Amino acid sequence: MKKRTTTLLAASLALGGAILGTNQLFRMATVASEKTVVPDDVYPDNVLFANQERFNRLPRETWTITSFDGLKLKAWYVANQHSEKTVILSHGWRITKARMATYGDLFYSLGFNVLVPDNRAHGESGGKFIGFGYLDRFDYLQWIDMVCQKDKQQKIVLMGMSMGATTVLSVSGEKLPNNVKAVISDSAYTSAYDELRYQAGHMFHLPAFPFLNVLNWMSGWRAGFQYSQADARPLIGKSQLPTLFIHGLADDFVPTKMVYELIKLHHGEHDVWLPQGAGHVAAFEEYPQEYIERVAAFLKQHVL
């Protein structure tokens, strides 16, 4: 009896420790914060600093939508002299729309209007919990509709980095208007669960069991979705949109092996660029001219 009691006590303590530990991981991964992981602006010594400053000087409007669950979400819109092309940019985890200025400059220089939302629980947008692409995809359907309402002739490109890339890949498998012509994914993960499992081992040296199991359950209970549901794979398998996949071969935040799985599942036309030595969402900074040329060539083939 004593041995059994000791075993039960040890199991209870282990479970309690797992819950406490995973609660901290859940807060870090999912709960909104005023802090960003990386600065909203690139520094003056960055090769893309001039691109950022050029885009930030352009006149812009603030657009607002109300999400399906009642959140006020905001975006910047930069018009480009009656252009019939619009890019919708999606930023990464715990950064804001401001960080997308360099990409905005790229597309503006190619003649696009630029719409840059703050994803839910980021920047100026409302929300307590980060959506990891699972909830955000519904928000992007609304942003697409808003562009189409402004001009029914608009050709739309979806482009995202990291979490934003997984978001636009997920959106690409939804029922979309014919206005949406192409997708560009830079450093996407397959699913939030896979990414958190990788980070649990890579950053925190934690075993997947039981921490990920408890964390997945906790997300479902508190945020309304499980990390395992935030999975681009079922949706990208439905996408026929031309897609450009970009992923640095030196990415140690979202392992490059994830992009191979996404590419394999995509049945539409696609181009792939895996730049040597580029880390997570670092291809533009490491290879600025080639990045612009590859994006421009892809868009010329499918949109321009």
Which residues, 6 or more positions from 186, have their beta carbon under 8 angstroms from its beta carbon?
159, 160, 161, 162, 165, 246, 247, 281, 283, 284
In a domain, 114, yes or no: yes
Query: What does the DSSP 8-state code read for residue 66?
Result: E
What integer pLDDT is reported at residue 34 of this predicted model?
64
Q: In what order do the strands lie in the sheet with 180-186?
A: 61-66, 72-78, 113-117, 85-90, 155-161, 180-186, 243-246, 270-273
What integer pLDDT is reported at residue 214 of this predicted model?
85
What integer pLDDT is reported at residue 212 of this predicted model?
81
In a domain, 172, yes or no: yes
What integer pLDDT is reported at residue 154 of this predicted model?
97
Query: Is the pTM higher than 0.75?
Result: yes
Domain count, the chain: 1
203: how many CB neighbours lie within 10 A of its CB?
9
In a domain, 198, yes or no: no
What integer pLDDT is reported at residue 304 of this predicted model?
74
pLDDT means over runs of 10, the chain (304 residues): 49 48 77 74 88 96 97 98 96 95 98 98 95 96 97 97 98 97 98 90 66 86 92 96 98 96 96 97 97 98 88
What integer pLDDT is reported at residue 14 of this predicted model?
47
- Phi, psi values for residue 185, rounded to 5°: -115, 120
Which residues, 6 or more positions from 127, have their beta carbon under 8 angstroms from its beta carbon?
32, 67, 71, 73, 120, 121
In a domain, 96, yes or no: yes
Residue 98 maps to which CATH number? 3.40.50.1820
Q: For residue 25, how far is the Cα from the chain centroid?
A: 19
- Decide if 210 contacts 200 (C-beta within 8 A): no
Strands, E assignment, 28-127: 61-66, 72-78, 85-90, 113-117
Rounded to whole angstroms, the Cα distance separating 208 from 49 reads 39
In a domain, 152, yes or no: yes
In a domain, 175, yes or no: yes
Angle (nearest 5°) at CA 91 between 88 and 92: 150
Angle (nearest 5°) at CA 154 between 152 and 157: 135
Domain, as residue range, for 257: 31-191+230-302
Rounded to whole angstroms, the Cα distance separating 276 from 258 reads 16
In a domain, 7, yes or no: no
What integer pLDDT is reported at residue 8 of this predicted model?
43
What integer pLDDT is reported at residue 206 of this predicted model?
66
